[in-house]
Amino acid sequence: MLFYLIAVFVLMLDQATKWIVRTHMELGEMLPSWTPHLRFVYYENSGAAFSSFQGFGKYFAIVAVIFVAAIFYYRRQGKIRGPLLEAASGFLVGGAIGNAIDRALYHQVTDFLVFGNHGGIMNLADLAINAGGLLILIYLLVDHFRHRATRRLL
């Protein structure tokens, strides 16, 4: 259930924020920010991360569909279990679907979050994908140390 709650929440929040940006900002417009570490700039990315592979966004939509199908397959097989992996996969799926919708409908992804002076520009789906990856890393570390402690006891 955690998987579905997170995936749907991420997807809805991502699509809502992108709609707000597309309907209330001009392309390239920057909103004033209360902090120098976060800026809001409307950008359309027809490629992948860090604006690489410009014009090939539609292919990343296909990759996202395959990725989401793989997550559902492994969930069905019982290989994604426990709250940490459920949450991680929920963030990953919600983010992947959010960006895939943009690519399918608009042939580009709406980005609007810039962190720091030299950071790339992102959206909430990207943040969710990063959060999912971080949770998987935490799971792998916890699992490693759990198995290591178990081996010591034997």
Enter the pTM of the model: 0.87
Instruction: List the 109-115 sheet strands across, edge first.
Output: 30-31, 38-45, 109-115, 121-122
Q: Which residue of the set 14, 102, 126, 143 is catalytic?
A: 126
Mean pLDDT, range 4-8, rounded to an integer:
97
Assess whether 111 carries a catalytic annotation.
Answer: yes
Gap between the Cα atoms of 41 and 120, Å rounded: 11
Cα torsion at 60, 62, 67, 71 (round to 10°)? 140
Annotated domain spans of the chain: 2-12+27-117+135-148
What confidence score (pLDDT) does residue 85 get?
95
- The Cα-based distances of 7 to 62, 88, 93, 149 in angstroms read 18, 9, 6, 33
pLDDT category, 117, cuts 50, 70, 90?
confident
The whole-chain average pLDDT of the chain stands at: 89
Indicate the range of 35-49, 105-119, 132-146 predicted with least confidence: 35-49
What confidence score (pLDDT) does residue 48 get?
60
Mean pLDDT, range 4-10, rounded to an integer:
98
29-87: pLDDT as tens digits: 999 888 888 899 999 987 666 555 555 567 778 889 999 999 999 999 999 999 999 99
